[in-house]
Chains A and B, each alone.
Chain A
Amino acid sequence: MNQMLSRINRFCFTGALKYRFKSIFASATLFFLVMTISLPGASASVKRIPERADGIATTSFTQRFASVKSGSSAVINRKKAKKSFPVTISSGGYKDTVPTRPTRILCLSASSTQMLYAIGAGKQVVAVDKYSAYPKNAPRTSFTGYETSAEDYLPYHPNLVILAFNENNMVQQLNVLHIPVLVMPAANTIRSADIQMLQLGLATGHYLAAKKQVNKLATTLHQISHRVGNKGQGLTYFIELSPSLYTATSSTFIGSVFSLFKMKNIAGQVKYNSNYPQINSSFLLKSNPDIVILADTVCCGQTPKSFASRPGYSVLQAVKNHNVYGVNDSVASEWGPHTLVVMAQYLAQVLIHRAAVKSHLVMINNNLSGRASSVYTRIILSR
């Protein structure tokens, strides 16, 4: 049972994911491929390395960039950064070598797609998964990242595949086909997202642009945080991921966005088995958060109004003060630079204009892409 729960948690929150059941034929294909991989010598190219609890790779690469911090000057080994291919990248517990500058990138992670376009590697991208909502001109496909066979990807002739997780032994399958693959798992902090952007820069030949982007991002976040001042300090918040009260703790990427404003997660006081625990409704009422963010508006149709109408919730000060806000579900499952900035800006607007907003229905409706930022700003300011 625990295995099942951890499985649910894992694939519910490591990206805008999709559960994929194996069909009989797909299982047969997978079986054949796994058997092929297990043949002597075939598995030599797959090098599994130990994974740290925070999801950051523990390889020489990450150690080399261990001092990379958002807002500070990154330590750059310029010679290595400019060094021509091949480059070896370790991430998400896997290590692979990109032999030449990739010209046909297949990206199956919405967050990595945002990063690739932010660092100027967009022209090299030939296909992205269906959940990569930003940027709008990204070549979206019907891929979900849960494909059972690497064969599905071959029509795009990729020379680099980027995954968020290794479902269905896809890493091993791509290794058999000699297609370089990077696994960029869910980042738990802004820093680990920065490291992923630098890794993508290195893997695509845009390292310096990636470093510039990391510094720009840090400056933007600093400016947003400065604009808010101490308006968020000490305020408590609750992020709802489903009506059954699954939430994100402060040890998650979205939690770290709130930490920028020195806000306190009501689920942050306790040690959980997961960073996405299901909490008790009595605990929510007793914790009485100042701000509630609903990240289940798309999946589960929740609105600030429906939240307020639940039994007993009318006594919450967030409800009384109209500080319940609905956002697109993707903010809780993406760690790309666009999502980060939009969410930080949104939160800043909430904190600055919190007292003046007298509506339950402040929503980000357009999938956090394109004009999202200006749209929600106007909504709040016009109240």
Chain B
Amino acid sequence: MDVTELKSRHIIYAILFLVIVIFLSATTGPAQLPLGQFFAAVAVHLPVISGHFHVSSLNEALVWQLIMPRICLGLLVGAMLASAGAAYQGVFLNPLADPYLLGVASGAGLGATIVLVFIPVALSFSFNLLPVAAFIGAVISVALTFTLGKAAGSGRNSSSLLLSGIAVAAFFTAAQTFLQQRSSAGQIQDVYSWILGSLATAGWSDVTLILPYVGLSAITLVAMRRLLDALAVGDLEAQSIGVKASTIRIIIIIAATLGTAAAVSVSGLIGFVGIIVPHMIRLVMGPSYKRILPLSILYGGAFLVLADYLARTILYPEEVPLGVITAFLGAPFFLVVLRTSKRLI
């Protein structure tokens, strides 16, 4: 029996868990809508059957404009962060690697801060400039990391890449801190809200904005899952079986980084998902990326939807920053898995 192959039952369990979390999040949230009203609000947006349902405009707006986009965005962001985290851990052979390793967070943070501080009026445009600026910032910082890492190391040495990532992140964070110092109190609050991560203002436009990036990135990573296993045994061994390690590494890093940049641009900096979800799967299912990557996508999405559900319900009507929930929920659970599992990371 191959303990590295992904079985259909693993996928079924993960999808079942995901469906339960979505259902729980959609129907038992603070809106406290009757189930009939909830399904009617969804049904009026479906072709063919839409004419058979009636729902008040308020309930329809609650479900279709606020709850559903938030759940969908949670799925996409969670799936992206978890799979990118798993991919980074595989590429750098480092269990502490997370999706923000190469400066994505600091670059996106600087981009977002520039918009919030210098062009606050952009927030009132019908086309939201904030995620675009965050995305551009993230891409620029990772491009800088690559350029500096290449210049510093011979070839694509992963250590020099990591070190240049740390340097670029420090530089961008310093620039962001300087801008925050020059901004007003209201702007600082928005910057902090963004840094702590939130899906509170999610809309369908955010979902459609990141869907292509996340989709492409996730497909690429899943397609590369066998090659990640090959990288785990070492570059020379991988090359001996016909795998060009440096090329594979670059493709995976670019895919994971672009997807992460897109996710971060709409959700802010949500921590822990990218480390905890892949490790929990690794501890339970074993070290093979053939299992870790596809399951990270499903469980990562479910985990973030669940965390967001708690963020908007536990102190209702107040919102709790999503980053707080992911750490509160994820860290103890992870420690339990770590303690009870006999597998090694």
Contacts and interface: CB of A to CB of B under 8 A. Distances in A.
B184 interface: yes
Interface SS, B side? helix
Nearest to A14: B185
A309 B30 CA distance: 23
Interface in B301-317: 312, 315-317
Contacts of A333: 185
A299 B58 contact: no
A11 B180 CA distance: 14
B65 A311 contact: yes
B66 interface: yes
A282 B62 CA distance: 6
Interface stretch (B10-18, B198-206, B253-261): B198-206
B317 A280 contact: yes
Given A278-B319, A285-B58, A310-B203, A299 B187 contact: yes
Interface in B169-190: 177, 180-181, 183-190
B177 A245 contact: no
B208 interface: no
B124 A306 contact: yes
B58 A242 contact: no
Nearest to A20: B181
A311 B58 contact: no
A312 B186 contact: no
B15 to A, nearest CB: 27
B57 interface: yes
B295 to A, nearest CB: 29
Given A245-B319, A272-B318, A279-B318, A301 B124 contact: yes
A17 B183 CA distance: 10
A244 B190 CA distance: 7
A236 to B, nearest CB: 14
Nearest to A266: B317
B66 A329 contact: no
B2 to A, nearest CB: 43
B193 interface: yes
A300 B120 contact: yes
B332 to A, nearest CB: 15
A327 to B, nearest CB: 13
A313 to B, nearest CB: 8
A5 interface: yes
A312 B123 contact: no
Contacts of B319: 244-245, 278-280
Contacts of B120: 298-301
A25 interface: no
A241 interface: yes
Contacts of A270: 317-318
B184 A299 contact: yes
A16 interface: yes
B126 interface: yes
B286 interface: no
A310 B126 CA distance: 9
A17 B185 contact: yes
Nearest to A23: B181
Contacts of A12: 185-186, 188-189
Interface string B113-147: 00010011111111000000000000000000000
Contact of A1 (B119, B177, B316, B321): B321
Given A17-B185, A21-B177, A310-B203, A305 B312 contact: no
Among A1, A17, A288, A313, find the residue whose CB has the most chain B CB atoms closer than 10 A. Answer: A1
B251 interface: no
A15 B220 CA distance: 51
A307 B157 CA distance: 49
Interface string B230-254: 0000000000000000000000000
A280 B57 contact: no
A18 interface: yes
A300 B201 CA distance: 15
26 contacts: A1-B196, A8-B188, A12-B186, A12-B189, A13-B185, A18-B185, A241-B189, A243-B123, A243-B201, A245-B319, A278-B200, A278-B319, A279-B318, A280-B318, A281-B66, A281-B200, A282-B29, A282-B67, A296-B186, A300-B120, A300-B187, A301-B120, A301-B121, A303-B124, A312-B65, A315-B58
Given A242-B193, A329-B186, 13 more contacts: A1-B321, A12-B186, A18-B184, A19-B185, A270-B317, A273-B315, A298-B184, A299-B120, A300-B123, A301-B123, A309-B126, A312-B66, A315-B60
A-B pairs, top 9 by smallest CB distance, nearest first, are A299-B186, A312-B65, A306-B124, A283-B317, A301-B121, A312-B61, A311-B203, A301-B120, A311-B65
